[in-house]
Chains A and B, each alone.
Chain A
Amino acid sequence: KNEVEQSPQNLTAQEGEFITINCSYSVGISALHWLQQHPGGGIVSLFMLSSGKKKHGRLIATINIQEKHSSLHITASHPRDSAVYICAVRSRSGAESRGGSQGNLIFGKGTKLSVKP
């Protein structure tokens, strides 16, 4: 079982729809990241959160530490939101801490979102 699981793998929506992408993880974490990867491949960091909720424009990210679950919501979706959305967690455990003392980033496989006009 992967340490970070995302669902769904693929998502097609009509413009204007409310979208939710889910991320569940099985390790203790110090932070969770939501990333956006466009077709060209470059990755942009959308959110980094360790508790509660963050909002930026039409994007909202929430995290429930007890349930080890995070969601990324997109309100009023638009075709330009089409991308792969990646959840990544920074583990707290020393045994898993490759990548520096703050721990390695463990990535989900991504959710491919297509928003149709």
Chain B
Amino acid sequence: EVQLEESGGGLVQPGESLRLSCVGTGFSFSDYWMTWVRQAPGRGLEWVANIKQDGSEKFYADSVRGRFTISRDNARNTLYLQLDYVRGDDTAIFFCARGRLGDLPLWGQGTLVTVSS
């Protein structure tokens, strides 16, 4: 079955770090751009970051640039998002998604990150 599964969410204190993972199964992971999207409580979808198939290009939303790092390990079919210096407004469900030409036909179920002291 073609799917994405996120993990790594949880409760984290402001200023601390967390690493999210997303494992892709049932498809050739290294063939696709990959994307992180988040949804804060009561808010809409917000694009977070993109990474090219070989990891050579990475792009970030202004709200996370300099604090979050997207990466991938194609040998492990895994996408990562390193969250550093987290803030209260980073509390959200984080989704990973597989890209096509920029549209996102495949999504994971999401992992919840809660930033609180």
Whether chains A and B associate is no
Binding site for A on B (CB under 8 A): none
Binding site for B on A (CB under 8 A): none
